Amino acid sequence: MQHIRYQNSVMQVEGISVSDLASRYPTPFYCYSANAFRQQYRRFADAFADFPALICYALKVNSNQAILKILADEGAGADVVSQGELLRALAAGISADKIVFSGVAKTSTEIAFALECGIHCFNIESESELQQISQVAVQVQRTASISLRINPDIDAGTHAKISTGKSENKFGIPWKLALQTYQLAASLPGIKITGIDMHIGSQISKISAFDQSIARLVDLIAQLRELDINIQHIDFGGGLAISYTDQDIDEQTLLAEYAAVISRYASALNCQLIFEPGRFIAGNAGILVTKVIYVKPVEQKTFLIVDAAMNDLIRPTLYDAWHQVATVIEPAEYAATTTVDIVGPVCETGDYLALDRSMPKVAAGELLVLHSAGAYGAVASSTYNSRPLIAEVLVDADREHLIRPSPTHQQIIDLDSVPDWL
């Protein structure tokens, strides 16, 4: 976390201290490092520089327009899963021919819109979706470039809620049905087969799972070519893990191992390579800044009650995710520690951000940061308990910008409409 670290004993994002930021923006808020985004994107792109590769950043991890603009300027394409994300990508200047459309339930409205835009490819997840895309394409007199997302039935070795490549998961077309579905696709009007696709899950550090899944796809490509179905691109999806603890995963080594597996296959394939990384680009480029409201010791433990909650960062309670928590002021080297649960104001026992953490003594009013909050943080937040979505701030060297303000309570209330008969 070169761009987010202590400097002169205060947590800094690039050139600005988090204490200074917190004096200008009310907590809680997300804060991102522009250069961390650039660095991660470049690392990923460099790993595949020897190949014709298109890196389609998965918008679902963090789709703020400012973040998308940073990545668009780096040359990124986009992986989108809704019309909203497609519009976001286009609005940020990502050209349609660099956009792939994934997701199990594209509606005919979304399909027609994406066809009009001229996207690079639809990643198709079922036979019924294939039929629907064909029908819509004929209606709007366009040709849909498609790939089939293959479910390779491989265990990615990750949390059950973010594992997508097993036969029991809702995603993709079972690999055993791939050839017959491709043959159906080849017979349908309005469809042009261009590629093959996979995405087996997220936060994957088991490289063998990628290896085994890719082997299945490579095998299919050979069989398809024998049937005169020419696969011009292979989409490996996203899924590469990041380090949430600073020690568990060495991201650079993992990326190198991943690239080595892909290069081994890619040299003989004569295909464009497509990637849909999300977490790898965004995860460690962001933090959540929060303030301690109360310290509450009880018989068994101490609670640090902070102003951020599960509605702001759902990952700990939904995926048992572990985010490193740090004080904004660096603790003295031998400071005494206590074990605490860091919990929020929401009225749910599941409202916690971190459990059983050894922390230096912290008082009410102190600032904390949760690391690795750049991916699946703000995008997955809600207004539960009528808590406004929190602000997002971007730091780029010594410049800062409020890239999304927090709505006021009144703006939230005004979204409701009371019928005149009440």
Binding residues (CB under 6 A) for ligand LLP: these are 58, 60-61, 79, 102, 162, 199, 202-203, 237-240, 276-280, 315, 319, 376, 380
Q: Report strand pairing: 10-13 vs 4-7.
A: antiparallel
Residue nearest to ligand LLP (CB): 238
Residues in the chain, how many?
A: 422
Residue 16 or 308 having the CB closest to ligand LLP: 308
3-state SS, residue 58? strand
Residue 355 or 379 having the CB closest to ligand LLP: 379
Residue 81 or 362 having the CB closest to ligand LLP: 81
DSSP conformation class of 277: -
Residue among 280, 271, 385, 294 at smallest CA distance from 340: 294
Q: Rounded distance, CA 290 to CA 401, Å?
A: 18
**Considering the complex, what minimum distance in angstroms separates the CB of residue 56 from ligand LLP?**
8
Residue among 144, 146, 148 at smallest CA distance from 135: 144
**Considering the complex, what minimum distance in angstroms separates the CB of residue 135 from ligand LLP?**
23
Q: Rounded distance, CA 402 to CA 387, Å?
A: 19
Question: Known catalytic residue: 31?
Answer: no
**Considering the complex, what minimum distance in angstroms separates the CB of residue 282 from ligand LLP?**
8
**Considering the complex, what minimum distance in angstroms separates the CB of residue 149 from ligand LLP?**
7
Residue 203 region by backbone torsions, left for phi larger than 0, else alpha for psi between -120 and 50, else beta: left
Residue 44 or 182 having the CB closest to ligand LLP: 44
Place of tokens 């004080």: 327
**Considering the complex, what minimum distance in angstroms separates the CB of residue 281 from ligand LLP?**
8
The kind and range of the H/E element at 398 are none
Peptide bond before residue 407 is cis, with ω within 30 degrees of 0: no
- CB distance 54 to 96 below 8 Å: no
- CB distance 393 to 376 below 8 Å: no
Give start and end residues of each alpha helix (H) in 104-250. 108-117, 127-139, 178-187, 207-226
Place of tokens 């198709």: 124
Q: Rounded distance, CA 350 to CA 385, Å?
A: 14
Q: The tokens of 213 are what?
A: 């899944």
Q: Rounded distance, CA 193 to CA 145, Å?
A: 6
Place of tokens 């039935």: 153
Q: Rounded distance, CA 88 to CA 28, Å?
A: 25
What are the DSSP calls for 227-284, one per residue? TT----EEE----B---SSSSS--HHHHHHHHHHHHHHHHTTT--EEEE---HHHHGG
Give the largest CA-CA distance in the chain. Answer: 71
Residue 27 or 102 having the CB closest to ligand LLP: 102
**Considering the complex, what minimum distance in angstroms separates the CB of residue 392 from ligand LLP?**
17
Residue 17 or 202 having the CB closest to ligand LLP: 202
**Considering the complex, what minimum distance in angstroms separates the CB of residue 419 from ligand LLP?**
36
**Considering the complex, what minimum distance in angstroms separates the CB of residue 296 from ligand LLP?**
28
Residue 88 or 340 having the CB closest to ligand LLP: 88
Q: What share of the chain is helix, strand, coil (3-state, %, to 5)?
A: 35, 25, 40
Catalytic residues: 347
